[in-house]
Structure 1
Amino acid sequence: MAVVARPAQKLTVDEVCAELQVARSTFYDWRQKGRGPRCIRLPNGSLRIRRADFENWLMECEDAS
């Protein structure tokens, strides 16, 4: 029996904004300033964020105090 790899979960901008409780404009501001999570741009122009990239970005945002 062949093992089928499950593709990594991809989040929409709306899903990320809902999880962080921030406005879409805030997400795009972070993105423009290079401070947001890594994104994948699809051929139709929409963005997706890998769950793993999002989680790594959140860990990098943690205050080291």
Structure 2
Amino acid sequence: MARPHMLKLPEVLDEIEMSRAAFYRMRARGKAPKLIKLPNGQLRCRRSDLDAWWEQVEKTAA
């Protein structure tokens, strides 16, 4: 079974065109895509979680 594609936080920020500070504010409100914290402290986002978040944002905006 293949591992899911994981994006680094800078890649996520680049794709959603958002600053790190704005992303963390959104995350504190529970509105950001799901992140996974690795044992070394780095954050990752599954491609599937980011795609699901995009769909939710589009539904909310419509």
- TM-score scaled by length of structure 2: 0.88
**What is aligned with 1:31?**
27
Runs (5+) with no aligned partner, structure 2: none
C-alpha distance in 2 between matches for 1:46 and 1:32? 17
Q: State the 1:14 CA deviation.
A: 0.3
Higher Cα radius of gyration: 1
Runs of 4+ residues deviating >6 angstroms: none
Aligned partner (choices 13, 22, 39) of residue 17 of structure 1:
13
Gaps of 5+ in 1: none
**Counterpart position of 1:42:** 38
Higher-helix-fraction structure: 2
RMSD of aligned C-alpha atoms?
0.9
Aligned-pair identity (%): 38
